[in-house]
Structure 1
Amino acid sequence: MYTIPGHHHISMITKNAQQNNRFYRDILGLRRVKVTVNQDDTSMYHLFYGDKTGSPGTELSFFEIPLVGRTHRGTNAITKIGLIVPSVDSLQYWVKRLDEFGVQHEGITIFAGRPALLFEDEEGLRLALIAAPNTKVGHWETYEKSPVPVEHQIQGMGTVEITVKNKGKLIRTLTEIFHYGLKTQDETTALLQSIDDEMFGEIYIVEQDGPSEKPGRGSIHHLAIRVKDDEELKYWNEQVKARGFMTSGIVDRYYFKSLYFRESNGILFEVATDGPGFLRDGDVDSLGEQLDLPDFLEQQREEITAKLKPIL
């Protein structure tokens, strides 16, 4: 039986790629590992940030939509991204760093049962740095040129919060199809893990009634979970369809292959393969420094480039 080894990436909406680049590269210290375009709308930047090579499990991705409006927060949405840091001392470092750059935060508190520092980016995307001293993030590679010291660098995605009207339906999807383990549950929350006692595949569900979120800048479009290869992806595609969900079928995203589906609350999930990865068309020393296009878009480079505003 196949298992899900954790999160693959998570995708958000930004209004301004330049501002977004400054926040995630220059303040949070992530590496910009890929500058490409949305393959379904090539007028739109698709930016990826992560570790040294953009390893699966470390990737934050953003679609730039310059005309997008603000997010109207509500339920039936992915509402917070946890990012792993090595220790509580790292949280103290990040308090000072966020203060230095004028980023408002809530101070060190508890999120999903662990010490955490909650804050938002400039567009209202909700983030949490979570101390994980006993977690060894084997898929994370140090980025030596980060402005953040190695001992405090973000080590990839941790707990992802999803807010829904019916948590039971989401729990059943994750446990019965993908074999997530239910760690804790009360009347309004539940904590699930794809790998027992590991945060990098953890989903924190909050049940909340009310209007559904209307997405905009700073909203989260979808969560992608990891699978090893094409064979496993085909298996999961059949499993999802067998439970009565419609899928996109398998889509070749050049850097990985994917399928997409919405669970019963409307949350969009992607299931993505680990490879080929971002080094498919890039050198490790120059990742993210130029516009990369999949082979099937390369002949349109001049036309695509003309529609994009350069990112410094």
Structure 2
Amino acid sequence: MYNIPGHHHISMITKNANDNNHFYKNILGLRRVKMTVNQDDPSMYHLFYGDKTGSPGTELTFFEIPLAGYTYRGTNAITRIGLLVPSEESLHYWKERFEEHEVYHAEIGTYANRPALKFEDPDGLRLVLLVGEGERLDFWETWEKSNVPEEHQIQGMGPVEMTVKRLDKLARTLTDMFGYTEVSRNESEAIFQSIEGEVFGEIVVKYQDGPSERPGRGSVHHLAIRVKTDEELEYWAEQVKQRGFHSSGIVDRHYFKSLYFRESNGILFEIATDEPGFLVDEDVETLGEKLDLPPFLEERRKEIEAKLAPIKD
């Protein structure tokens, strides 16, 4: 059996690509590593932010839907995203930065048993900065042109929170199928790690009854978890099939290959390969600066560009 090395990326809905671009580049200091379109609906932007090269485990991605309404919070949804910072000193840096830029945030406290600072983006997406394990993550590459000092830069994804009606159903999918370890549990919450002791593959599952979330701006579309090779992806495709989940089948997204399925609560998972990555069609120096299209959409470039509002950097 293969193991899951951690998160690959997570995808959300934004109402305005310009506001989104400003927040994640200029306030959070991430690099926009890919400006492309939703391959299933190329009339909308798909923006990727991460470290210097958009390493798996650092990528936050957004679909722009200008007509998106408000999210009506509820259960059976991905409800918060953890981002890792190097130290408790970093939390104080970020609290001051959020106050300077009028970003909605809480006081410094704890989350998933770690020092933490909760905040929201302009769409109301719920995020939290957490102190990692004290060492630089080996897959994270410093973005030298970030306006955030290196010692406080966001180093990738940490715990991802899922709120569901049937906690045990999701628990079995994570442990029995994917090999996650359940590291803690109480009557309303359980924490799972893809690699025991490592925060970058952690999933926090909370129990909540009631109406399911109605997605809109600031909601999470799906979580992608990592696999290293095409061979591993084929293995997981068979595991998903054997357990009776309906899936998309393996899809070539040009920057990675992947498969989508919904677990029993309706949470959408993607399983995505590490390679070939975002440098397959662009140099590292100019990564994310122009609109990139996968080869099958390139002949429609003029039509696609005509429908997209320019993003002002």
Q: Which TM bucket (shorter chain)?
A: over 0.9
- 1:56 maps to which residue? 56
Q: Secondary structure at the match of 1:94?
A: helix
CA distance in 2, matches of 1:45, 1:256: 18
Aligned residue identity for 1:186: N
> For residue 209 of structure 2, what is the aligned residue in structure 1?
209
Kindly indicate whether the alpha-carbon contact (under 8 Å) linking 1:135 and 1:199 is maintained by their aligned counterparts in 2: no
Question: Cα distance, 1:104 vs. partner?
Answer: 1.8
Q: Give 2:176's aligned residue.
A: 176
Cα distance in 2 for residues equivalent to 1:104 and 1:55: 28
Q: How do residues 40-79 of structure 1 correspond to structure 2 at under 5 angstroms?
A: 40-79=40-79
**Could you tell me which residue of structure 2 aligns to residue 186 of structure 1?**
186
Give secondary structure in 2 for the equivalent of 1:303.
Answer: helix
Gaps of 5+ in 1: none
1:6 maps to what in 2?
A: 6
SS in 1 for 2:285: coil
- Between the aligned partners of 1:52 and 1:277, the Cα distance in structure 2 is 12
Contact 2:133 2:199 in 1 (8 A): no
**Whole-Å Cα distance in 2 between the matches of residues 38 and 143 of structure 1?**
25
How many angstroms apart in 1 are the aligned matches of 2:21 and 2:300?
A: 25
Runs of 4+ in 1 over 3 A off after TM superposition: none
Partner of 1:161: 161
Which has the larger displacement, 124-133 or 214-223? 124-133
* Corresponding pairs, count: 312
> Contact (CA 8 Å) 1:81, 1:127: kept in 2 or not?
yes
3-state SS, counterpart of residue 299 of structure 1: helix
Please give the alpha-carbon distance, in whole angstroms, between the structure 1 residues aligned to 2:64 and 2:73. Answer: 19
What is the SS of the residue equivalent to 1:10?
A: strand
Report what 1:310 is aligned to.
Answer: 310
Tell me the distance in 1 between the aligned counterparts of 2:8 and 2:55.
8
One-letter code aligned to 1:217: R
Q: Distance in 2 between matches of 1:308 and 1:135?
A: 41
Q: Following the alignment from structure 1 to structure 2, what is the Cα–Cα distance between the partners of residues 7 and 104? A: 26
Query: Hey, what's the Cα distance between the residues in 2 that align with 1:168 and 1:135?
Result: 33
Task: Check whether the contact 1:227–1:273 (CA below 8 A) recurs between aligned residues.
Answer: yes
Q: So what's the TM-score if we normalise by structure 1?
A: 0.99
- Residue 132 of structure 1: how far off its partner (Å): 1.4
Give 1:272's aligned amino acid. A
CA displacement at 1:15 relative to structure 2: 0.4
Would the aligned equivalents of 1:135 and 1:198 in 2 still touch at CA under 8 Å?
A: no
Corresponding residue SS for 1:61: strand
Distance 1:214 1:139 in 2: 34
Q: Give deviations 1:243-302, integer Å, cap 9, x for gaps.
A: 111111000000000000000000000000001000000110111100000111100000
Once the two structures are TM-superposed, the CA of residue 134 in structure 1 deviates from its matched residue by 2.7
The Cα of 1:179 is off from its aligned counterpart by 0.1
Output the amino acid matched with 1:47.
L
| TM-score when normalising by structure 2 | 0.99
What is the CA deviation profile of residues 175-228 of structure 1, one whole-angstrom value per residue up to 9, with x for unaligned ones? 000000000011110000001110110000000001000000000000000000
Aligned-residue offset at 1:171: 0.3
> Which amino acid in the other structure matches residue 21 of structure 2?
N
1:114 aligned residue? 114
Matches of 1:105 and 1:149, distance apart in 2: 20
Q: Between the two proteins, what is the percent identity of the paired residues?
A: 69
Unaligned runs of 5+ in 2: none
- 1:289 and 2:289 matched: yes
Per the alignment, residue 96 of structure 1 pairs with: 96
Q: CA RMSD in A?
A: 0.6
**1:137 to partner: Cα distance:** 1.0
Rounded Cα–Cα distance in structure 1 between residues aligned with 2:152 and 2:192: 26
Q: Given the superposition, is the C-alpha separation of residues 143 and 69 from structure 1 closer, same or farther in structure 2, using an over 3 Å criterion?
A: same
SS of the aligned residue for 2:224 comes to strand
